[in-house]
Amino acid sequence: MNARMDRGGVVTQSLAQIGACGLFLLTLLAAVPRSFRYFRETLRQIWFVGAMSLTIVMTCGLFVGMVLGLQLYDVLSIFGGTSATGTVVAIAIYRELGPVVTALLFAGRAGTSITAEIGLMRATDQLDAMEMMAVDPIAYVAAPRFLAGVVALPLLGVVFCAMGVFGGHLVGVTWLGIDNGTFWSNMTATVDVHKDIINGVLLKSIAFGIVVSLIAVYQGYTTPPTSEGVAYATTRTVVASSIAILALDFVLTSFLI
């Protein structure tokens, strides 16, 4: 393992990681049809990575919405345009903050737990044991977690957005006294289902879901079977996911806008 670390610079190593990750995605996708027989396992994983992340996602969504409401009210009041607060909160959250922050939270909360779980299964030979019991661990362990992530992240993103708008409304309307009708009428007049909800929240979330789940599963699956290895792998999951999310966000935005 040490010998491999020494070989090649950071760049070649990163490239090798990306390449290996891409190949792993192909393996994973090939295993997806086989993993349909483990549908219950997929459901169970949706529970673990999705439903268990709800608390953090909802809390953060609420606060992001509230702080946006506060800041925008402050800035927009300079121009006498506080009535646009709702619009800007909604658009900022739908297009950027919702999918991106949810994906970052998801990487920290669910991604690491996927990596650690699979890594521990690797370290304690559970994956080998499955192989020996003639159960394909890619189909039984990796694919359901991957699918669960891809399904759960868009749902979490949508919940985040709803909480964010609620938070913005709470601050803007309930505390700062923007007119309720103005808040909603400006928002509904500007926000577009196709551009903001489908392209913004859903498409980005699905893309992030694929990337984050892939990185988490890959890191777990290729963990060196030691406790150190698992620790490093979880760290790498967060770092790699965060970079990938933000870079991909830029690329997606430039295509979608």
Partner 1 sequence: MACCDGFRYFVPLHLANDLLMTDTASSGSDDTIVRVRGLTTVLNGKTIFDSLDLDIPRGKITAIMGPSGTGKTTLLKHITGQMRGDRGEVRVDGENVPDLSREHLFRLRERVGYLFQNSALLTDFDVFENVAFPLRQHTKLPEVLIRNIVLTKLQAVGLRGAARLMPTELSGGMARRVALARAIVFDPALILYDEPFVGLDPIALNQVLKLIRTLNQTLGITSILVAHELAAVQHIADHVFLIANGKVVAQGDAATLATDGSPWTRQFFGGEADGPVPFQYPAGDYATALGFPGGSL
Partner 2 sequence: MTQRRSYAVGTGLFIVLGFAALAYLATQTTSVANSRQGDSYTVETHFANVGQLKARAPVKIAGVRVGSVQAIDLVPGKEEAKVTLSIDKAHEDIPDDSVATIFTSGLLGDQYVGIQFGQSKKTLAEGGTIGFTRPAQQLEEMIGKFFGGGSAADRLGGTYKVTGHFTNVGSLQTGAAVKMSGVPIGSVDSVVIQPGHLDAFVTLAIDKNYSQIPDDSAAAVFTSGLIGSQYVAIQPGGSPEYLKDGDEMVLTQSALQLEDLIGKFLVNGSPSDNKNGAGNSGGQPDASSGKK
Which chain residues interact with partner 2 by CB under 8 A?
Answer: 40, 43-44, 46-47, 50-51, 54, 76, 79-84, 90, 94, 151-152, 154-156, 158-159, 161-162, 165, 179-182, 184-193, 196-197, 201-202
67: which residues sit within 8 A by CB, 6+ positions away? Answer: 167
Using the minimum distance from each CB to partner 2, give the nearer residue, 14 or 59.
Answer: 59
Q: Residue 120 or residue 162: which is nearer to partner 1 going by CB?
A: 120
Q: Of 140-159, which residues contact partner 1 (CB under 8 A)? A: 140
Q: What residue has token string 């020494």? A: 6
Q: Which one of 66-74, 134-142, 191-199, 233-241 is the stretch in contact with partner 1 (CB under 8 A)? A: 134-142
Q: How far apart are the first and last CA of the chain?
A: 44
User: How many whole angstroms separate alpha carbon 123 and alpha carbon 129?
Assistant: 11
If binding is defined by CB under 8 A, does position 231 make contact with partner 1? no
| Other Cβ atoms within 10 Å of 160 Cβ, number | 32
The site partner of 80 among partner 2, partner 1, none (C-beta below 5 to 8 Å per kind) is partner 2
Within 163-202, the residues that bind partner 1 by CB under 8 A are none
Does 114 help bind partner 1 (rule: CB under 8 A)?
A: no
Q: How far apart are CA 160 and CA 99, in angstroms?
A: 8
From the list 98, 69, 103, 125, the residue with the least C-alpha distance to 245 is 103
| Tokens 């606060």, residue located | 63
Q: Specify the DSSP class assigned to residue 8.
A: S
Residue 1 interacts with which of partner 2, partner 1, none, CB < 5 to 8 Å by class: partner 1
Token output for 1: 């393992």
Distance between CA atoms of residues 165 and 205, nearest Å: 17
Tokens matching residue 167:
């938070």
Asked whether position 10 contacts partner 1 by CB under 8 A, the answer is no
Which of the choices partner 2, partner 1, none does residue 126 contact, using the CB cut-off of 5 to 8 A by kind?
partner 1
Selection from partner 2, partner 1, none that 228 binds (CB < 5 to 8 A by kind) is none
Binding site for partner 1 (CB under 8 A): 1, 3, 120-121, 124-126, 128-136, 140, 224-226
